[in-house]
Amino acid sequence: MVKIMEKALRLTGRILLGIVWVTAVLLLASFVNNKTRSVLEKKYLDNQIYGQKVEVDGADMSVYVAGEGEHTLVFMAGAGDPAPILGYKSFIDRFEKDYKVVVIEKFGYGYSDETDGPRDVGTRVRQDREALKAAGVEGPYVLCPHSYSGLETVYWAQSFPDEVEAIIGLDMAVPASYDMYDEESIRSQAPSYFWNRVGREAGIVRLIAVNSIPDGYSDDEVNSYMALVCTRYCNKTVEREGNYLISDRTLIESKKMPDVPTLLIISDGTIADGWIDLTNAYASSISDVTTVQLNCGHSVYRYEPDKCGNAMREFLNGLEK
């Protein structure tokens, strides 16, 4: 009986050792492949296919500007989006014949530089405004935030109401969406950012990102998207935004919610518990508001681009009356 157990243990040890070796070989292959591909993709980072660079606080911010029209639509990305311009491009193309269309890539996002400076909401909005000015884009603006950038949008409208003609929330977060966060929950996210960066360097993120590329991308767009994801994902500039979440939320909630014409396009709420109810509660504080409930995931402009586009055009047409 003892000999049988010894044989079983030796066999188990060999199997485990084999698994470790296979895993190590696969990780090494993934790492080498990622580094090799990154060298080849560097030209796509150096040669931005859409948008321009403008200087803000001594560093480069990336801004996309196209089209002309009575309204200026400023699209703002959700938290940690590694490629906002490319992510929005297929959706915003439909508006460029009738409106001026802008996408801001904050520091740490897309083609913009990473920085060591503060990432509180006041700093982010100031930099957004300075980037638009440097790009020659004048207000007033129709701010079109997705997810986390809803905080910047609300603060922007609170602080500079003359610059904000209207708000179109593409399943934007409202301040109360983050009321459940405390210092401990924010600190607990730090290890996930670290390990995501490890996964990025090891090439694991590359393997996953291949399956997230939207349909219809050209070869240059695919290569640019991959280059951005594999260098920007979960970077430290983006991570530091979360350190200001509680103070940002407290600051915004200390002021009256901005009562500007608002369209809220709402997802199925699977992004977070109570998402729909919190968004509708925010809507109830606004006198001129339209809500559109969709049965799709958080990235509403990707899942239901036609429904979002039609709702936006109807809303914008109403602003002209």
Which three-class secondary structure string do you get for the chain? CHHHHHHHHHHHHHHHHHHHHHHHHHHHHHHHHHHHHHHHHHHHHHCCCCCEEEEECCEEEEEEEECCCCCEEEEECCCCCCCHHHHHHHHHHHHCCCCEEEEEECCCCCCCCCCCCCCCHHHHHHHHHHHHHHCCCCCCEEEEEEECCHHHHHHHHHHCHHHEEEEEEEEECCHHHHCCCCHHHHHCCHHHHHHHHHHHHHCHHHHHHHHHCCCCCCHHHHHHHHHHHHHHCCCHHHHHHHHHHHHHHHHHHCCCCCCCCEEEEECCCCCCCCHHHHHHHHHCCCCCEEEEECCCCCCHHHHCHHHHHHHHHHHHHHHCC
* pLDDT for position 216: 81
Average pLDDT, stretch 104-132? 97
Please list, in sequence order, all residues whose beta carbon lies within 8 angstroms of the beta carbon of residue 51, skipping any fewer than 6 positions away. Answer: 62, 63, 64, 65, 85, 103, 105, 111
Fold entry, domain 48-319: Rossmann fold (3.40.50)
* pLDDT for position 12: 62
Tell whether the model's pLDDT for residue 9 goes beyond 60.
no
More confident residue, 121 or 198: 121
Average pLDDT, stretch 11-38? 65
* pLDDT for position 34: 66
* pLDDT for position 158: 97
* pLDDT for position 188: 77
Q: Domain extents for the chain?
A: 48-319
Tell whether the model's pLDDT for residue 1 goes beyond 80.
no
Q: Among residues of the chain, what percentage have pLDDT more than 90?
A: 67
Residue 59, strand partner residues: 56
Read off the pLDDT band of 247 (50, 70, 90). Answer: very high
* pLDDT for position 179: 84
Read off the pLDDT band of 180 (50, 70, 90). Answer: confident
* pLDDT for position 320: 65
- What is the pTM (predicted TM-score) of this model? 0.89
Q: 3-7, 23-27, 41-45, 51-55: which has the highest mean pLDDT?
A: 51-55
Please list, in sequence order, all residues whose beta carbon lies within 8 angstroms of the beta carbon of residue 14, skipping any fewer than 6 positions away. Answer: none
Tell whether the model's pLDDT for residue 181 goes beyond 90.
no
* pLDDT for position 24: 63
Average pLDDT, stretch 218-226? 90
**For the chain, what is the radius of gyration of the CA atoms?**
22
Q: At what angle do helices 121-134 and 150-159 cross, to 10 degrees?
A: 80
* pLDDT for position 196: 76
Tell whether the model's pLDDT for residue 200 goes beyond 60.
yes
Read off the pLDDT band of 82 (50, 70, 90). Answer: very high
* pLDDT for position 193: 76
| Residue whose entry in the numeric block shows the structure tokens 């996964």 | 199
